[in-house]
Structure 1
């Protein structure tokens, strides 16, 4: 039970900016003394990111971009947080937009995400940059990548990307298969229906149009936690075959 609570805490805390959960950020930092808590000041809002330096010969930087409110794959994120640095990846956890602002539009939330991304550049060393984003945050990210508002990305792992408004969600699913970079689209029956409804369509269309796109099913984690090790290895193997 303690391990499960820690997993949920690890995902939940990284989803909100300072000052809302400053004390919890410090609690998380004490749990992971090998990590660094970095405070960033923007024109509108201060926030913090959690960093872990690679503990093996460095390959590049992975930026984890979790969903807010309803984490999509907390167990997978928890394991990535622990295993990626051992594989040579510097890890940065970037807080999600503040989805508590119920009056915000899709464009407003995209701008929040972009405003967090831009000052992050000073923390990213040279080398490949891999984005791993989930849920509604991954949904916001697709347009920013398509429009190159976020650029110089080496590869994308998208975990259940969606947005609850159908008009935006349909666009997101098309953007996901049209990026000019390696994309691993992780799908699961437990994800939001909006992304699952078009999973097969994305796979079929991408086979004809985009060899850089690959789809991977995330199955059985709740019943068989040991599968997480295999799934993390699959993700690392995909990075390796993609040239990283």
Structure 2
């Protein structure tokens, strides 16, 4: 059964605190050498401002290559027995980056688990070749919406809304213009590239960033002004920092 690889890179995430379900979000797989990571937003795993402190995540895995509708839940702890966090986070000059990498031992996945992963070669090499107004895509589970039979994400259209080669207001993100919702947090922001020119015959997608949150004007007047529908997407190069060390023995 043929499923586009880009859809299999994205994981539907549910956050839990013991037996209490909390929120839903999106994430995606990233493989560096032999090591697999789940990438999502930091506010998905911990958000001090709202008191959101799950102790584990649950993702949905496709388990039958002949029937994509067959799935199982896979639990990922966020803390070890000593209470130490198991995810990796980063800071830059502007503060905490809203991206985390969670090491995953894929050897514990079901034997026939179907998933695809971005790799370092899928990251952009020259930021100046990507321009404002470029048509891009965001793949995830907005409001936990999905193909409920096959448990696959949906793809939304967006454009790059700020100068891609410049960090917006000094932060480690660029802006996108789209119609996005809660649950999209942690979605990969991708650019489809020409297969022949790029040499990406197997996977024609470049990972530009990680969708994070809405950004509105401070001058917005409630009841008077519509929302800007601008969103932050953290540059994907932070993933190389987060996955720099070996996570598995």
TM-score (norm. length: structure 2): 0.28
Structure with max Cα Rg: 2
Structure with bigger RCO (C-alpha 8 Å, 6+ apart):
2
When you count strand as a share of all residues, which structure comes out higher? 2
TM-score (norm. length: structure 1): 0.28
